Amino acid sequence: MADQGERPEGEENTRRGDTGLPGAGDEGPGHEDTGSENAGREGAGSVGKKVGVLAGPGDGRRAGTHRRAISTREFTEGVSAGDRTVLSRAITLVESNAAAHFAQAREVLASLLPRAGRSLRVGVTGPPGAGKSTFIDTLGTRLIARGHRVAVAAVDPSSTISGGSILGDKTRMERLANEPRAFVRPSPSGGILGGVARKTRETILVLEAAGYDVILVETVGVGQSETAVHSMVDFFLLMLIPGAGDELQGIKRGILELADAVLVNKADGDTRAAAELARSQYDMALHYLRPSETGAPARAYAASSLTGEGIDECWAVMEATAAHARETGAFERRRREQERQWMHQLIRERMEEDFRGHPAVAALLPELERGVTEGTISATEAAMRLLRAYRPAGGPMFPGDDG
Ligand SMILES: Nc1nc2c(ncn2[C@@H]2O[C@H](COP(=O)(O)OP(=O)(O)OP(=O)(O)O)[C@@H](O)[C@H]2O)c(=O)[nH]1
Ligand SMILES: [Mg+2]
């Protein structure tokens, strides 16, 4: 675990910010955060005081709620000092989709990067209602008692569709949200899943630079979000519940293969025996899958996030797995590989966007798509025409293509 001696100052703020849904997400750092982080508005650090005072010229959309812009240097210093107000605005900056914020977000990220990376990143995924938030609340509170600084982020596929947020309602992380040494960040909203995942990824870096040494990332396992989370964490915990009928609860088998551990939650009261049974079944299933990338074979455990039983043991597994992976070098390799894949992902997304946004492509695409589905033109021919339209002077697009 990261050295606790590195903890920054400025964490004497204890009151909780207003709960409430996260802001529109795209408003950027020129706007006051709506207090959606715990204690986000009560930053006590010096930069927070300075910049929290309000209110520059009206450069935004909601009159009366703007603070003055923060310089890149103030962002860097404030975040590094653990100033919660600046931290919260820095995250808003990197989450912003506004073109105007992009350059500064890059600068801030670049300057924070040397301080980032020193945490254990844990992804918690599972079906809706499995108890992920309750687990994070219980585990996070215990970790804080042990001297850790804990931050919670989310990859929220639902925000893409409904504008809702899995961490928007933090009532299930009440204890953690009230901890001055914890930071609960609601999930970013808006955009496609790739974009939302990018935001969470960069949010993690900012949180690390602020000195949080355990980052817990929650996501509902409903599709691609699990893979997105897996690609940004050191330990991927799959949470399941007993007695939900279907053996794998709609969780695809591929996800089980990604898991560094399975935790069967709600091993208490009436469901305790069923949880134990499910645990042994998942343990068996995992046994037949290859060992996880961290080198240690993945196992299944049972716990109750409600009573706390089994939670310390679960953390012990994560710590031991991480420690072992650090020793063997697998930890660092996994992170490097994630970065490499992430780079390619960003390139793919950006290129595709550029391609689809090209006027000639946009004009041709519907017709050619129809032709391909109707079988009147081959996919290769259609692709070649589109690529030529995209890059008319770009030379041959396919081997043997002479334009
Ligand atoms: N009996 C029991 N109930 C639990 C446990 N953990 C969570 N719950 C309950 O399960 C319900 C869902 O808990 P959450 O923590 O919100 O679950 P979640 O997985 O975060 O849910 P979503 O974010 O909506 O997908 C709540 O009513 C919790 O009180 C547990 O260990 N035992
Ligand atoms: Mg939840």
Do 323 and 365 lie in a common domain? no
Please give the helix or strand (H or E) that residue 183 lies within, else none: strand 182-184
Domain containing 201 — which CATH number?
3.40.50.300
Atom 12, ligand 1: residue with shortest CA distance: 129
Give the per-residue pLDDT at 64: 44
Q: Do 318 and 373 sit in the same domain of this protein?
A: no
Establish if 375 belongs to a structural domain.
Answer: yes
Per-residue pLDDT of the chain (403 residues), as tens digits, is 333 333 333 333 333 333 333 333 333 444 444 444 554 333 334 444 444 433 333 333 444 456 678 999 999 999 999 999 999 999 999 988 888 899 999 999 999 999 999 999 999 998 888 999 999 999 999 999 999 999 999 877 665 555 555 555 545 788 998 899 999 987 766 566 666 778 889 999 999 999 999 999 998 876 677 888 899 999 999 999 887 655 555 566 678 888 999 999 999 999 999 999 999 988 888 887 765 555 557 899 999 999 999 999 999 999 999 999 999 999 999 999 999 999 998 899 889 989 999 999 999 999 999 999 999 999 999 999 999 999 888 766 666 666 5
Best residue among 138, 172, 229 to mutate for probing ligand 1's pocket (most ligand atoms within 8 Å of CB) is: 172
Looking up tokens 């504008």, which residue turns up?
163
Distance CA 31, CA 16 (A): 20
Same domain, 196 and 319: yes
pTM for the predicted model, two decimal places: 0.80
Do the beta carbons of residue 107 and residue 94 sit within 8 Å?
A: no
Put the strands of the sheet holding 261-264 in their side by side order: 182-184, 150-154, 214-220, 120-126, 235-240, 261-264, 299-302
Contact between 392 and 358 (Cβ < 8 Å): no
Ligand 1, closest atom to CA 269? 1
> Under a CB-based contact definition with an 8 Å cutoff, are residues 153 and 88 in contact?
no
**Statement to judge: residues 322 and 344 lie in one domain:** no
Q: Give the CATH number of the domain where residue 371 resides.
A: 1.10.287
pLDDT for res 28: 41
Say yes or no: 38 and 174 in one domain: no
Evaluate whether 259 touches 286 at the Cβ level (below 8 Å).
Answer: yes
3-state helix, strand, coil in the chain (%, to 5): 50, 10, 40
Q: Ligand 1 atom 7: the closest Cα is on which residue?
A: 131
Calculate how far, in angstroms, residue 298's C-alpha sits from the geometric centre of ligand 1: 23
The fraction of the chain above a pLDDT of 90, given in percent, is 53
In a domain, 400, yes or no: no
Range of the domain at 88: 4-113
User: Cα separation of 73 and 56, whole Å?
Assistant: 18
pLDDT of 128 reads 84
Same structural domain, 236 and 373: no
Same domain, 272 and 133: yes
Question: Ligand 1 centroid to 26 CA: how many Å?
Answer: 30
Q: Are residues 265 and 382 in the same domain?
A: no
For residue 83, is it within any domain? yes
Do 158 and 31 belong together in one domain?
no
- Answer yes or no: do 81 and 229 share one domain: no
Same domain, 146 and 75: no
Q: Look at the chain and report how many structural domains it folds into.
A: 3
